[in-house]
Structure 1
Amino acid sequence: MDAFISQLPALLGVVVGALGTGLVTFLSTRSQWKRGQSVRWDERRLEAYGEFAQVLKEIQAISLRVLSAADGDKYRSGFDKAAALPRLADADIRHTLAWERLLLLGDAATVAAAQDWREAVWRLEHRAREVGETTEPLSGLYQQANASRDRFYDAARRGLGVSGGSVAQSDRLQQRLASPEDHQPAAPRS
Structure 2
Amino acid sequence: MGSLLAQMPALLGVLVGTAGTIVATSLADRARWRRRQTVRWDERRLDAYAEFARVLKEAHTIASRTIGGYLDRNQELAALAEADLRHTIAWENVLLLGDGPTVAAARAWRDAVWEVERLARAAATGDELPDLLHRANEARDAFYRAARDSLGVGGGSVAQAALLMSRLNKGTAPAGRPTDEHHPT
Q: TM-score, normalised by structure 2?
A: 0.90
Change (3 A) 1:48 1:140: same
Deviation at 1:43, TM superposition (A): 0.2
Q: Distance in 1 between matches of 2:174 and 2:9?
A: 86
Report the AA paired with residue 103 of structure 2. V
Per the alignment, residue 8 of structure 1 pairs with 8
Aligned residues: 176
Q: Is the 8 A contact 2:51 2:90 kept in 1?
A: yes
Deviation at 1:79, TM superposition (A): 2.4
Q: Secondary structure at the match of 2:154?
A: coil
**Deviations 1:159-179, CA, capped at 9 Å, x for gaps:** 000000000000000000000
- What are the ranges of 5 or more consecutive residues in structure 2 without an aligned counterpart? 177-185
Q: Is the 8 A contact 2:66 2:77 kept in 1?
A: no
Per the alignment, residue 176 of structure 1 pairs with 167
Q: Indicate whether 1:22 and 2:14 are aligned.
A: no
Task: Give me the identity figure in percent.
Answer: 52
Q: 133-142 vs 13-22, which deviates more?
A: 133-142
Q: Secondary structure at the match of 2:153?
A: coil
Change (3 A) 1:134 1:123: farther
**Deviations 1:145-168, CA, capped at 9 Å, x for gaps:** 000000000000000000000000
Report the AA paired with residue 79 of structure 2. R
Query: After TM superposition, where is structure 1 displaced by more than 3 Å over at least 4 residues in a row?
Result: 133-136, 181-185
Q: TM-score, normalised by structure 1?
A: 0.88
Q: Is the 8 A contact 1:62 1:79 kept in 2?
A: no
Report the AA paired with residue 98 of structure 1. A
- What are the ranges of 5 or more consecutive residues in structure 1 without an aligned counterpart? 70-77, 186-190
Per the alignment, residue 163 of structure 1 pairs with 154
Aligned with residue 142 of structure 2, among 136, 139, 151: 151
**Deviations 1:5-61, CA, capped at 9 Å, x for gaps:** 111100000000000011110111110100000000000000000000000000000
Q: Cα RMSD between the aligned structures?
A: 1.8
Deviation at 1:80, TM superposition (A): 2.4
Report the AA paired with residue 93 of structure 2. R
